[in-house]
């Protein structure tokens, strides 16, 4: 087996196990055998059928797409801004998208497919606007200093979050439900959300996966990248749009889930190196698997209640990441 394929096989195996867990485990445990028989139509157990096809599968698909989106765009943001602390959260795209989603929810859309699309569209547009606003504020002449970017992103994030809270408090009942949804409650559920999220994630993550070589060049700075033959500003805009597209879609359908976008790319980097042509797809697979596991834990740990998934990602993700960091063999892995 070529050495370069090993990380992909391992992470895909990890993903398959996570998917199985996600379908099997919940308030009712369904054994892998039953899962298989239900999926292949070999069983007459209607309860299992309902649980798996109408509850667990769409939820699994939604979490998988969200984890993939967050880790894939997180890895890209880190590469784009050449900063190990960058994640979709930090520069404000998630809270901007959240604000957009809440504004859209405050308008009473009819519950139709179009109504369902209005919220993610608003989240997406607001997320994109946030990125460009933060980028524009942080810009000094030709360059965008990382410190400025983080400061502008963090401050705008706080502003957007405050505005979101204000809107929700002012509106009373209807929007208060939005708060739960925004903080990682995946109540929107069902196959509709999955289908609406799918195109954004596929397009965005494909764009990012194709940007690996450009991101490698950008690690040397815009100038050197340009001198090696990359149209740096065009490449950066392309990546920024793709990462924002992906993040905004994830926030719109699954709420704001921190940490996955920060930690998964770092673990991939620590284990398998910083080549973005591999880092992005591996982060996508790893992010999907990690968020699925976090969701399983969120479902069972205080069953029958559900823990917000963001708590699990931070609670389990932080120690795990610190452990990986402690064991890191290469000093200059970043």
Partner 1 sequence: MIEIKNLNVAYGPRLVLKNISLDVKTGETLALLGPNGSGKSTLIRALSGVAPTASGRLCLAGRDLAGLDAAKRARLMAVVPQTVSLPPAFTVWEMVLLGRTPYLNFLGQISAKDEEIARGALAKVDALSFAERRVGELSGGEQQRVLLARALAQATPVLLLDEPTTHLDLQHQIGLLELVRNLAREENLTVVIALHDLNLAARYADRVALIVDGEIKALGTPKEVLQPEMISAIYHWPVQVLPHPFLDTLLILPDAK
Residue whose C-alpha is closest to residue 76's, from 269, 301, 294, 296: 269
Asked if 109 interacts with partner 1 (CB under 8 A), we say no
Q: Which of residues 71-100 bind partner 1 (CB under 8 A)?
A: 82
Residue 140 DSSP SS3: strand
Q: Least distance to partner 1 from the beta carbon of 217, Å?
A: 6
- 74 three-state secondary structure: helix
Residue 220 near partner 1 by CB under 8 A = yes
Distance, CA of 329 to CA of 331 (rounded, Å): 6
Main-chain phi, psi angles of 140, to 5 degrees: -125, 110
Residue 4 found at the interface with partner 1 (CB under 8 A): no
Asked if 231 interacts with partner 1 (CB under 8 A), we say: yes
275 scored as a contact of partner 1 (CB under 8 A): yes
Q: How far is the CB of 166 from partner 1 (least distance, A)?
A: 39
34 near partner 1, rule: CB under 8 A: no
Residue 223 sits in the site that holds partner 1 (CB under 8 A): yes
C-alpha torsion angle, residues 254, 259, 262, 263 (rounded to 10): -120
The single residue among 6, 176, 177, 213 that binds partner 1, judged by CB under 8 A, is 213
Minimum CB distance to partner 1 smaller for 232 or for 249: 232
Does 232 sit near partner 1 (CB under 8 A)? yes
Q: Does 2 participate in binding partner 1 (rule CB under 8 A)?
A: no
The enclosing H or E element of 160 equals: helix 146-171
If the CB atoms of residues 242 and 254 are measured against partner 1, the closer one turns out to be 242
CB of 45 to partner 1, least distance (A): 47
269 binds partner 1 (CB under 8 A): yes
146 binds partner 1 (CB under 8 A): no
* Helix spans in 183-331 (H): 190-210, 212-218, 222-227, 232-254, 260-272, 276-300, 309-327
Q: Does 147 bind partner 1 (CB under 8 A)?
A: no
The CB-side HSE value for 330 (13 A sphere, CA atoms) comes to 11
Smallest gap, in angstroms, from Cβ of residue 277 to partner 1?
7
Taking the complex as a whole, the smallest distance from the CB of residue 328 to partner 1 amounts, in Å, to 11
Contact call for residue 273 and partner 1 (CB under 8 A): yes
Distance, CA of 148 to CA of 21 (rounded, Å): 42
Q: Which residues in 193-212 contact partner 1 (CB under 8 A)?
A: 210, 212
Binding-residue total with partner 1 (CB under 8 A)? 32
Q: How far is the CB of 231 from partner 1 (least distance, A)?
A: 5
Angstrom distance (rounded) from CA 148 to CA 310: 27
Instruction: From 27-35, 57-65, 269-277, 321-329, give the range in contact with partner 1 by CB under 8 A.
Output: 269-277
CA distance 307 to 300: 8
Among 49, 139, 277, 278, binds partner 1 (CB under 8 A): 277
Shortest distance in whole angstroms from residue 215 CB to partner 1? 10
Q: How far is CA 56 from CA 4, 183, 194, 306, in A?
A: 34, 20, 12, 14
State the nearest-atom distance from the C-beta of 204 to partner 1, in Å. Answer: 17
The span from the first CA to the last CA of the chain, in angstroms, equals 27
Question: 45: alpha, beta or left, given left = phi > 0 and alpha = psi -120 to 50?
Answer: beta
Q: Of 47, 187, 206, 224, which one interacts with partner 1 (CB under 8 A)?
A: 224
CB 253, CB 193: distance < 8 Å: yes
Using alpha carbons only, give the angle 158, 162, 166 rounded to the nearest 5 degrees.
170
Query: Which residues are at the interface with partner 1 (CB under 8 A)?
Result: 82, 141-142, 210, 212-214, 216-217, 219-224, 226-232, 269, 273-275, 277, 330-334
């Amino acid at each position: 087996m070529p050495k370069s394929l090993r990380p992909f096989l391992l992470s895909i195996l990890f993903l398959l196990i996570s998917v199985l867990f996600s379908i099997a485990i919940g308030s009712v445990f369904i054994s892998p055998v039953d899962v298989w028989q239900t999926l292949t139509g070999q069983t007459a157990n209607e309860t299992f059928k309902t649980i798996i096809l109408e509850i667990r599968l769409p939820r699994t698909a939604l979490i998988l797409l969200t984890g993939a989106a967050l880790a894939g765009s997180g890895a890209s943001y880190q590469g784009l801004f050449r900063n190990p602390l960058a994640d979709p959260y930090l520069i404000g795209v998630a809270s901007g998208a959240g604000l957009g989603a809440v504004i859209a929810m405050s308008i009473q859309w009819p519950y139709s497919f179009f109504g369902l699309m209005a919220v993610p569209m608003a989240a997406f547009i607001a997320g994109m606007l946030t990125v460009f606003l933060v980028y524009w504020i942080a810009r000094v002449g030709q360059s965008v200093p990382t410190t400025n970017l983080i400061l502008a992103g963090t401050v705008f994030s706080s502003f957007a979050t405050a505005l979101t809270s204000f809107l929700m408090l002012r509106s009373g009942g209807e929007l208060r439900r939005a708060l739960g949804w925004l903080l990682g409650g995946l109540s929107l559920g069902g196959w509709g959300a999955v289908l609406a999220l799918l195109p954004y994630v596929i397009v965005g993550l494909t764009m990012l996966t194709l940007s690996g070589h450009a991101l490698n060049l950008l690690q040397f700075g815009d100038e050197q990248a340009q001198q090696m033959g990359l149209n740096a500003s065009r490449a950066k805009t392309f990546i920024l749009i793709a990462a924002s597209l992906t993040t905004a879609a994830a926030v719109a359908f699954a709420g704001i889930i921190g940490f996955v976008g920060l930690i998964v790319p770092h673990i991939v980097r620590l284990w398998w190196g910083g080549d973005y042509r591999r880092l992005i797809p591996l982060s996508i697979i790893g992010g999907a698997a990690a968020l699925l596991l976090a969701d399983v834990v969120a479902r069972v740990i205080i069953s029958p209640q559900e823990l917000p998934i963001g708590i699990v990602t931070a609670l389990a993700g932080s120690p795990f990441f610190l452990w990986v960091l402690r064991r890191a063999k290469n000093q200059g892995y970043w």
